[in-house]
Structure 1
Amino acid sequence: MIGGFVTRSKFTTLSITGGSCSLNCFYCGAKYISTMEEAISPEKFEKIVTKLHSKGVRGFLISGGFDESGKLPIRPFLPVMRKLRRELNVVFNLHPGLQDKETIMELRDAVDIVDFEFAYSPGAYLSKGVKRERDAYVEVLSNLIEFGPEYIVPHVMLGLPKDTYEDLLEEMKIASQYKPYLLNFLVVTPTPDTPSRVLKVDLNKILPLIQEGSRMMGGKVSLGCMRPFALKEVLDREVVSRGLVERIANPHHKVVKEFSLRLYDACCSLPAHLLGDFKI
């Protein structure tokens, strides 16, 4: 059965950099991290997680802005994350960016899930503007799978104007060859005050890619929380009715009702053995 994932009271998002980011991505411009709760020091992070846990929060997506090399400055936070994970039995999901092998190895006992933006396609790579070679994304994905936490979820962004169908097929083929636990699809969303604001995303170009990615991954795919609202109802209905995904974040309310989706109060990357604790 396809699961729908929403965040209400058991799962939340923290930014360890506040609204600060050294990149100026085509579709973000730090707009998305500016809405997250700030936890900009290990001490503040521990205080916030402990407080939210006492109020019933059981899972945390840890994100924030990246430096110019495309990396989240996570290392100073790992000791307290390790401690809180052990003492409070919370779930940590991390957006790490392009970390080095040593840091990836240190994530193993501090983090449950890694959501990795696999910006390997030319359009995705150019939209990030990182001061690294494009092949760094393949190297980091390989290291995450081999040396990182058990649950690694590459994210593929669809709809970027400089990507072709063939570019994205190559990106999905590379990601699927590493046999990740799950492959997540995002759809670029026109965002005010960013260059993406003028974009018009074509549903007919998105669906074939999700279908092909689902085939490559044997159905182990999810539709993530970023997708244009104008396409949401139709896109959600199509992927659910055609069985192209096994998970969908923030499903359209009409689709939830129409297909009686089972709902979870969590990020859509949550491993199956933890779902019971987050069922709505």
Structure 2
Amino acid sequence: MQKILKTYYVWPRFPSVSMSGKDCMLSCRHCNRHYLKGMIPAVTDEELLRVCRRFYENNAVGVLLSGGCDRNGKMLNLEKNLSAIKKIKDETGLIIKLHTGFVDEKLAENLKGIIDVASMEMVGDNTTIQEIFGLNATVDDYVETFRNLQNAGVSIAPHVCVGIYNGMVKEEFKALELIKENIKPETVVIIVFRPTKNTVLQDLQPPSPEDVASVVKKAKGLFDAEISLGCMRPRNRAVRAEIEIEALKSGVSRMELPSEKTLSYAKEKGYEIKRLDACCALPEKYEHLAEVNEFLSKKIHLLSTNML
């Protein structure tokens, strides 16, 4: 059987939009709002509609809707933008991926049919939730969100972050087991703690490639699903390719933004490389829409750059 490595490139045909702009009430120890700065701000429903219509007009594949959270872990401005999200879906057919934050039953029902995939991190222990994310919440709150989305019929691409607790592997296996017990995902995304400037954890070391490999192997053994190495992971030359290659050896079939060294390794090992202009949680049924188009990619890149 032909081995296939699906590679994903979100920019520019699958841009990220922050529905909270640069605002977040949590200031998590590993992020401190840093990653919101690289997203296109669209706080109001009018802004969100305008931004997504322009992407559609310029042949985007889809959009990631994200943003900061309130102190209870709910996505800022999500509920007030639901009608705009529905209109975007109805008018454009863009593939919509949503970072959900905590979701109750009512919100889960409202998301059904207007988004294509929900992304939510599963955390396996209360200490990490309270110390790293600063949330007065427990593992049960994460489980409830996953169950609410599953019960509403919303497709979920759960994420597990290796080393999220101060760069150390803590309860990542438990997080995977909780996912297994509660939902049936098509894709499980493994991300990796990345020390980030201007955060409390900036001087810590990321987890080792072996740690990442162990979590990938655990996921591969638990799920009848594709395992993806997501975009959030260390990018410095010292560990980037090593993490990617160890993850590939351990069972990932999807990878966002692989290094040239990893691509060369995969080709040497007989992998067919399939490139897609989308995020790595893209449902398989939409892959044909994300096949690479270099002309459109350049066109949308210029548009997106002007909107930041």
TM-score range, shorter chain: over 0.9
| Conserved? CA contact 1:62–1:95, under 8 Å | yes
Q: Which moved more, 1:13-22 or 1:79-88?
A: 79-88
Cα-to-partner distance string for 1:216-252 (whole Å, 9 max, x where unaligned): 1135211110111232201112222x25112111111
Residue 12 (structure 2) pairs with residue 9 (structure 1)? yes
| Counterpart secondary structure, 2:210 | helix
Residue 39 (structure 2) pairs with residue 31 (structure 1)? no
1:160 is displaced (CA, Å) by 2.7
Which residue number corresponds to residue 89 of structure 1? 93
2:262 corresponds to which of 245, 252, 255:
255
| Conserved? CA contact 1:4–1:256, under 8 Å | no
| Conserved? CA contact 2:185–2:225, under 8 Å | no
Letter in 2 for 1:131: N
| Conserved? CA contact 2:103–2:148, under 8 Å | no
| Conserved? CA contact 1:41–1:77, under 8 Å | yes
1:269 is displaced (CA, Å) by 0.6
Residue 109 (structure 2) pairs with residue 109 (structure 1)? no
Query: In the aligned structure 2, how far is the partner of 1:103 from the partner of 1:141?
Result: 12
| Counterpart secondary structure, 1:197 | coil
2:152 corresponds to which of 147, 169, 175:
147
1:272 corresponds to which of 276, 280, 284:
284
1:77 is displaced (CA, Å) by 1.2
Query: In the aligned structure 1, how far is the partner of 2:128 from the partner of 2:227?
Result: 19
1:92 is displaced (CA, Å) by 0.6
| Counterpart secondary structure, 1:135 | helix
| Conserved? CA contact 2:126–2:138, under 8 Å | no
1:43 corresponds to which of 31, 42, 46:
46
Which residue number corresponds to residue 243 of structure 2? 235
**Which runs of 5 or more residues in structure 2 are unaligned?**
268-272, 293-308
Residue 72 (structure 2) pairs with residue 60 (structure 1)? no
Q: Which moved more, 1:211-220 or 1:69-78?
A: 211-220
Query: In the aligned structure 1, how far is the partner of 2:137 from the partner of 2:247?
Result: 34
1:210 corresponds to which of 210, 216, 231:
216
| Counterpart secondary structure, 2:48 | helix
Percentage identity across paired residues of the two chains = 24
Letter in 1 for 2:67: G
Query: In the aligned structure 2, how far is the partner of 1:101 from the partner of 1:257?
Result: 46
Q: How does 1:126-145 map to 2 (within 5 A)?
A: 126=130, 127-145=132-150
1:198 is displaced (CA, Å) by 1.2
Q: CA RMSD in A?
A: 1.7
| Conserved? CA contact 2:24–2:68, under 8 Å | yes
Query: In the aligned structure 1, how far is the partner of 2:62 from the partner of 2:128?
Result: 28
TM-score normalised over the length of structure 1: 0.94
Query: In the aligned structure 2, how far is the partner of 1:265 from the partner of 1:187?
Result: 22
| Counterpart secondary structure, 1:195 | coil
1:121 is displaced (CA, Å) by 2.7
| Counterpart secondary structure, 2:17 | strand
1:59 is displaced (CA, Å) by 0.3
1:99 is displaced (CA, Å) by 1.5
Q: 1:279 to 1:124 in 2, by over 3 A?
A: farther
Query: In the aligned structure 1, how far is the partner of 2:143 from the partner of 2:167?
Result: 17
| Counterpart secondary structure, 1:128 | coil
| Conserved? CA contact 2:45–2:84, under 8 Å | yes
The number of equivalent residue pairs is 278
Query: In the aligned structure 1, how far is the partner of 2:14 from the partner of 2:247?
Result: 25
| Conserved? CA contact 1:188–1:227, under 8 Å | yes
Cα-to-partner distance string for 1:163-200 (whole Å, 9 max, x where unaligned): 87562211111112222222111100000010121111
Q: Which moved more, 1:20-29 or 1:252-261?
A: 252-261
Which residue number corresponds to residue 224 of structure 1? 230
Q: 1:44 to 1:28 in 2, by over 3 A?
A: same
1:255 is displaced (CA, Å) by 1.6
TM-score normalised over the length of structure 2: 0.85
